[in-house]
């Protein structure tokens, strides 16, 4: 189990850091097209090529991890890649982070690894097809309520020209995303 968790951490680090390196490498490159001259420019750009290789190696490591453990363990641990990306961004891209950011990154990393380590393969439970319309109905109601709440806060913010409600909007959008992802 721990081998698959370590492989997943390496894989998600490779994927995320590889994409950042690719993006950084494209700063001096023309837009990607299928012209041989442009493909050669990408292939010869050291930063882009290293990022591309890290991304590919990360994908291969993820496949190996998935062969060793169930998806219910691998997927939560792969969420730790965002914490790894934050640390990489701080040191490589020189992004500034305060103590709250570091605490959040640490908790996110520990939490996702903990969820993955605590996961185990479970027996599939049967769900009646008659319950699916109720599930869809409840999700639709949640979206309607959250969107209504967003509109109310947005109108209130415009009337009073307050900026504090942006955080509330972001939280509600996060809730909607979580519901949809779930």
**pLDDT of 155:** 74
Mean pLDDT of the chain: 79
**pLDDT of 161:** 63
Q: Name 72's Cβ contacts closer than 8 Å, sequence gap at least 6.
A: 119, 120, 121, 122
Report angle CA 65, 68, 71 to the nearest 5 degrees: 70
Tokens of 131: 């319950």
Q: Name 148's Cβ contacts closer than 8 Å, sequence gap at least 6.
A: none
Residues of the chain with pLDDT under 50: none
The span from the CA of 39 to the CA of 31, in Å, is: 10
Tokens of 177: 């995303």
pLDDT tens digits for 45-79?
999 999 999 999 999 999 999 888 888 778 778 87
How many residues can be counted in the chain? 182
């Amino acid at each position: 189990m721990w081998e698959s968790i370590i492989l997943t951490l390496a894989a998600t680090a490779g994927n995320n850091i590889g994409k950042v390196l690719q993006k950084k490498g494209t700063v001096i490159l023309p837009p990607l097209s299928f012209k041989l001259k442009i493909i050669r420019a990408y292939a010869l750009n050291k930063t882009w090529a290293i990022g591309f290789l890290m991304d590919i190696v990360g994908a291969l490591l993820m496949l190996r991890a998935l062969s060793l453990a169930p998806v219910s363990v691998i997927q939560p641990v792969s969420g730790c890649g965002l914490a790894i990306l934050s640390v990489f961004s701080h040191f490589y891209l020189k992004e500034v982070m305060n103590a709250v950011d570091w605490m959040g990154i640490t908790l996110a990393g520990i939490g996702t690894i903990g969820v993955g380590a605590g996961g185990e393969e479970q027996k599939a439970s049967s769900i009646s097809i008659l319950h699916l319309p109720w599930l869809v109905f409840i999700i639709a109601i949640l979206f309607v309520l959250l969107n209504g709440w967003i509109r109310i806060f947005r109108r209130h913010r415009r009337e009073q020209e307050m900026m504090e409600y942006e955080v509330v909007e972001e939280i509600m959008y996060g809730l909607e995303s979580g519901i949809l992802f779930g």
